[in-house]
Amino acid sequence: TLVLLWLGIFILYFLVKLQRPKNFPPGPVPLPLFGNLLQFDSENPLKELDRLSRRYGSVFSVYLGGRPVVVLTGQEVIREALVTHGAEFAGRANHTMISHITAGKGLIMVDYSTRWRDHRRFTLTTLRNFGLGKQSMEERILEEAKHVCTSLEQHAGNSMNPQHLFHHAASNIICSLIFGSRFDYEDKYFQTLINSIEEFIKLMLGPWAMIYDIAPALRFLPLPFRSSFHHYELLKEHIRKVVAEHKRSQVAGEPRDLIDSYLEEMEKVREKKKEAEGSSFDDANLVILLIDLFIAGTDTTSNTLRTLTLYLMTHTHIQEHCQQEIDMVLGSREHVSYEDRHAMPYVQAVIHEAQRVGDVVPLSVFHTTTANTQIRGYSIPKGTLIVPYLSSALREKDQWKFPDEFNPQNFLNDKGEFVKPDAFIPFSAGPRVCLGEGLARMELFLILVTILRRFRLVWPEDGGVPDHSLIFGMTQSARPYRLGIRSRT
Ligand code: HEM
């Protein structure tokens, strides 16, 4: 009887907890404990989101365990929330495991606050070359593109899996911007760091992080999430050493990279005695900010490069069109420059189309509401989890000329000029729009053009049937494939 009584209380508790607030967006009936989790296919939960949006409309809600989540679909609703009501939708979820690991510092997972705003402004200004010293962002990317080509050259006439190469290249660009130096691709230490980032992300997005969130007391047990802490500690240790070295060798007024700029910012703040006002520029925030930039800037860019090269191999006429445009614009010039993009509308269209179909961050990073608010007549209380379903806009039927195929015409007008439709939001929108958008665009353009000038990409004879489907994840990727490489002579 006692067991039944407890079971009854337990179910009653969840039924009360799972009552949607008044005038909340509609959605399917949740189950106790699991909410609506069981109706999602872990391999491809997006299909279920599409079905729910057809049934309930562009704003609906589901329960992740006991927590209600509002899903925004289609570019109009996403922009209305994230841009028109930007401040009200700019919060971040309080994720227990992340808060324990980062101690609430850094940038990506920090709530809408003065600390977030100060760090975002500082990082954007620094990346826009105002604090990167003698070597510009463009030069650093071109240097990395040269190393990518040297690696590809070693496989000319053959094929290779490009996953590690692109991943290392994207990581190295972040290293160059924040540490002022890059690593050799074969460097064992570099591989350990990259491995730590990958393992950390895998664990953070897996079921253990969710279990930790529900029952943080479990953190004292030797369960797999302990290894997230271990990998994060390794990264922190490395970065602390680099910061200490920067402090020793820094020359005032001559920043070499983002770390030097940050140290100068700390000094300025100290001089103005801003500590009293609660300034957040300090060593602990610097370390987490740097890790955030690594995490945000590596998989996203390298997965997009992999999607790009996959489609160029399987759509050879599109690749040839790009190469004609590149050859015509650059002639015998040694280097491409980012300015050249204005004279290359077709290449621009191809890169954007690869971003659209590659759909790298399908559900954005979850937001929360910072105040009680409304969207499309529904009431959304402060602190509600918000999922901007970005891929719904990237595939929206009435927004694209060819929503279901890879076609650069989606970004070209009748005159062959490059145009960007409003539904192109792979970097999200509003105050929390991707901070690395400018950097990522520059990387994709400079690396792709450098590769296509030197190589023809071919689908290898033993490569099987090309598969363009994506592996679902917080960051999605193309399935592993081999890149066939031929020198262009
Ligand atoms: C956030 C996409 C590359 C740094 C985001 C978000 C998306 C995104 C969808 C979430 C925005 C939101 O919360 O609504 C992408 C894509 C990339 C890319 C598709 C490449 C193709 C980069 C790079 C960096 C970077 C290279 C490195 C500097 C960040 C940061 C945030 C962010 C720091 C958090 C911004 C904040 O919370 O204020 N990105 N990103 N991203 N991204 Fe990127």
> How is domain 66-487 classified at the CATH fold level?
Cytochrome p450 (1.10.630)
| 258-270 tens-digit pLDDT | 999 999 999 887 7
Has 149 been labeled as part of a binding site?
A: no
Instruction: Please tell me the predicted confidence (pLDDT) of residue 471.
Output: 92
Closest atom of ligand 1 relative to the 109 alpha carbon: 37
Q: Report the candidate in 241, 233, 152 with the shortest Cα–Cα distance to residue 197.
A: 233
Q: Give the residue extent of every domain in the chain.
A: 1-65, 66-487
Ligand 1 contacts CB of residue 117 (under 6 A): no
33/382: higher pLDDT: 382
Question: Hey, what are 8's tokens?
Answer: 């009854």
CA dihedral in degrees (247, 252, 256, 262; nearest 10)?
60
CA–centroid distance, residue 16 to ligand 1 (Å): 37
Which residue, 24, 49, 25, 23, is CA-closest to 36? 49
Mean model confidence pLDDT for the chain: 90
The pLDDT, as a whole number, for residue 224 is 75
Mean pLDDT, rounded, for 323-327:
98
Q: Which of 300, 366, 370 to mutate to test the pocket of ligand 1 (most atoms within 8 A of CB)?
A: 300
Is the CB of residue 359 below 6 angstroms from any atom belonging to ligand 1? no
What is the arithmetic mean of pLDDT over 13-36? 81
**How does DSSP assign 344-372, residue by residue?**
-HHHHHHHHHHHHHH-SSTT-S-EE-SS-
- Give the per-residue pLDDT at 420: 97
Residue the block writes with tokens 């650059």: 330
Length reported for the chain: 489
* Per-residue model confidence (pLDDT) at position 155: 96
Average pLDDT over residues 52-63: 97
Distance of CA 427 to the CA centre of its chain: 8
CA distances from 85 to 82, 88, 108, 112, 344 (A): 6, 6, 20, 13, 35
- The answer to whether residues 290 and 105 touch, using CB atoms and an 8 Å cutoff, is no
pLDDT in tens, 387-404: 999 999 999 999 999 999
- How high is the ipTM of this complex? 0.99
Predicted local distance difference test score (pLDDT) of residue 101: 84
Task: Report pLDDT for 376.
Answer: 96
What's the pLDDT score for residue 274? Answer: 56
On whether the CB atoms of residues 68 and 385 are closer than 8 A, the answer is: yes
Whether 462 shows a pLDDT value over 80: the answer reads yes
Q: Give the model's pLDDT for residue 7.
A: 67
Mean pLDDT of 428-435: 98
Pick the residue with more confidence: 204 or 442?
442
Q: What is the 3-state secondary structure (H, E, C) of 366-377?
A: CEECCCCEEECC
* Residue 222, burial from CB neighbour count under 10 angstroms (0-12, 13-18, 19+): exposed
CA of 217 to the centre of ligand 1 (A): 32
Cβ of residue 295 lying under 6 Å from some atom of ligand 1: no
Assessment of whether the complete model's pTM goes beyond 0.80: yes
CA distance 472 to 394: 15
